[in-house]
A and B are shown apart, each in its own frame.
Chain A
Amino acid sequence: MMMRLLRVDFLKIKRKGLWLLTVLGPFGVVALQMVNYGVRKDYLLQQSENDWLYYIEYISNFTHLAIVLGIVILTSFIASIENETNAWKQLIALPVSKLSVYLSKFTVITILLFISSVLLLLFSYSYGLYLDLGEEIPYITLLKYSFFPFLAALPVLALQLWIATVSHNQAIPVTVGVIGVILAYSAFTLPDWMIWKWPSLINGWDKPYINALLGLSVGILLYVIGMFDFKRRDVK
């Protein structure tokens, strides 16, 4: 049943621009560095001993913003597909469990974000190679900074999807989303417990994997809460 629902959800996002967004997000993040390095490459290369790490850090400055913004847009889009003509009532009246309907929506966005992360890895790696930043390529760091923000952003994803699917007024999830993006923008000054800070991989211990682990566990928790709330509610 899950596979069927997933296939249906992928059919429904056709022509809605979600795939475009999936590619545009990571491309945008790397494109900013293309501008940055294009304009002042020589200056930037002088700034540090390890040009690769310096470059990755620049990229990660924007990754978390793109990912939080992307989540807000993706969740709102996927909910609006069902909200537009209140197709929830048609969908839930089919022989499917509400839990799997919710899980399917969540999975679709997770897959899109994962693809985004893979693309981010590919884009930043190739542009790094093009910049010729040195022989020693820090593959592990590159992997970390491509996939940890995705894991650390799962709580935001779970929260946004929850709000977007249970609100009849899509202004609510968008408002919460915009506040989230602003919070993510000021990640550096936020306390460590705020979920919008996590995708930036900044924390008091200076260990990015903590954010990824926290993201994964709190993300699952928020997902479960959202799923059961979705199940409990009447379909209007």
Chain B
Amino acid sequence: MEYIVETKNLTKRFGKEQAVSGLEMKIPKGEIYGFLGPNGAGKTTTIRMLLGLMRPTSGSVHIFQKDLRKERIRILNKVGSLVENPSYYPHLTAGENLEALRKIIGVPKTRIKEVLKIVRLEDVANKKVKGFSMGMKQRLGIAASLLNNPELLILDEPTNGLDPSGIIEIRQLIQRLPHDYGMTVIISSHLLSEIDQMATTVGVVSKGKMIFQDSIEEMRKFAKQKVVLKVSDSESAWRALLARGMRADWDEKNITLLNQSDENVATAVKYLVKDGFSIYRVEEEKKSLEDVFLQMTKEERLV
């Protein structure tokens, strides 16, 4: 398979601290890659290495199947990025800020209007960025990252500081990009709900290590379902189920059936009815992706 981004054994050490260790990132073309991990897991450090801002202690980065160390400038020509907090020149207007980047990139001047329109800042193009709200600055940063029509777009926490409607707007924009422009997108976040709604592939990083990397569907499979039964006299009901050879748990109040097939749930209910218990509720509780994520990163912490 051809990967747009591929890192091999990517490692970065700051003194004794191992910020990123042996990271193997693989991103196929046209994916929205959710780069997920708790704060301080090494996401930003990894992204900095992808952009050539930091030199890896060891390992390699290949983007568009070219070695970043050898062909940095040619690669960056087709990469757009927004790293951490947006950078801007407060004493310049939004238009001038983009012009300062456009001159270096060398795209036509009309592109500034286009990207400002994409992020809905066209009305404030001639205002100084100093007076912008956090959300507007963030959007300007996204506009800047789109300036060179990138094939790979790297956004580090892109919805930081945006209000709910801004988040939805940016989310819709990002979801459009692979389809409309054939872009591959990397979005990092510590919020799974954020990634969940956009990403097609997920990489979970914890303590500098990649602990999961696959499609979001694969990750969802980790989300186990359980069925909760609320019955009269739950203890005896639970014992009755056990006596009939069913696997069930009891937590002083309810009976729970973990990872059981539909058939088994039906059988359990049948038994309970037969044994004369009243069944008040049969509820399914799905473990959210959030729980899976927490569990993954927690397990890693225990290791």
A95-B77, A96-B73 given; A87·B104 CB < 8 A: no
Most interface-central of B54, B83, B103 (chain A CB within 10 A): B103
> How far apart are the CA atoms of A16 and B100 in the complex, in Å?
15
Return chain A residues, CB-CB under 8 Å to B77: 95
- CB-based contact B90/A93 at 8 Å: no
Return chain B residues, CB-CB under 8 Å to A11: 92, 96, 99-100, 103
Q: Would you call B51 an interface residue if the criterion is a C-beta within 8 Å of the partner chain's C-beta atoms? A: yes
Residue A94 contacts which of B54, B74, B104 (CB distance < 8 angstroms)?
B104
> How far apart are the CA atoms of A234 and B14 in the complex, in Å?
11
Return chain B residues, CB-CB under 8 Å to A8: 100, 103-104
B129 → A minimal CB distance (Å)? 9
Q: When A and B form their complex, what is the total count of cross-chain residue pairs whose Cβ atoms lie within 8 Å?
A: 81
Q: Would you call B195 an interface residue if the criterion is a C-beta within 8 Å of the partner chain's C-beta atoms? A: no
Residue B100 contacts which of A12, A15, A84, A86 (CB distance < 8 angstroms)?
A12
- CB-based contact A14/B106 at 8 Å: no
Task: Convert B102-139 into 0s and 1s, putting 1 for each residue whose CB lies closer than 8 angstroms to a CB of A.
Answer: 01111000000000000000000000000000000000
- CB-based contact A5/B104 at 8 Å: yes
Return chain B residues, CB-CB under 8 Å to A234: 48, 53-55
Task: Convert A1-19 into 0s and 1s, putting 1 for each residue whose CB lies closer than 8 angstroms to a CB of B.
Answer: 1001101100110111000
Residue A235 contacts which of B53, B86, B88, B91 (CB distance < 8 angstroms)?
B53
Residue of A nearest to B154 (CB): A93
> How far apart are the CA atoms of A11 and B81 in the complex, in Å?
22
Return chain B residues, CB-CB under 8 Å to A96: 73, 104
A103 → B minimal CB distance (Å)? 14
- CB-based contact A14/B96 at 8 Å: yes
Q: Would you call B101 an interface residue if the criterion is a C-beta within 8 Å of the partner chain's C-beta atoms? A: yes
Q: Would you call A90 an interface residue if the criterion is a C-beta within 8 Å of the partner chain's C-beta atoms? A: yes
> How far apart are the CA atoms of A46 and B122 in the complex, in Å?
67
Most interface-central of A4, A94, A235 (chain B CB within 10 A): A94
Return chain B residues, CB-CB under 8 Å to A90: 81, 83, 87, 101, 144
Which chain A residues (68-93) contact chain B, with CB distance < 8 Å? 81, 84-93
Q: Would you call B76 an interface residue if the criterion is a C-beta within 8 Å of the partner chain's C-beta atoms? A: yes
- CB-based contact B87/A85 at 8 Å: yes
Return chain A residues, CB-CB under 8 Å to B48: 89, 234-235
Return chain A residues, CB-CB under 8 Å to B74: 95
> How far apart are the CA atoms of A204 and B73 in the complex, in Å?
49
Return chain A residues, CB-CB under 8 Å to B85: 85-86
Residue of B nearest to A1 (CB): B104
- CB-based contact B73/A95 at 8 Å: yes
> How far apart are the CA atoms of A95 and B88 in the complex, in Å?
18
B288 → A minimal CB distance (Å)? 34
A84-B90, A85-B90, A87-B87 given; A235·B54 CB < 8 A: yes
> How far apart are the CA atoms of A92 and B72 in the complex, in Å?
11
Which chain B residues (50-106) contact chain A, with CB distance < 8 Å? 51-55, 73-74, 76-77, 79, 81, 83-92, 96, 99-101, 103-106
Given contacts A12-B100, A87-B88, A88-B87, 7 further A-B contacts (CB under 8 A): A11-B96, A16-B91, A85-B86, A89-B87, A92-B52, A93-B81, A235-B48
Q: Would you give 17 A-B contacts (Cβ < 8 Å), ordered by A?
A: A4-B103, A7-B103, A8-B103, A11-B92, A11-B96, A12-B92, A85-B86, A87-B88, A90-B87, A90-B144, A92-B51, A93-B76, A95-B73, A96-B104, A234-B48, A234-B53, A234-B55
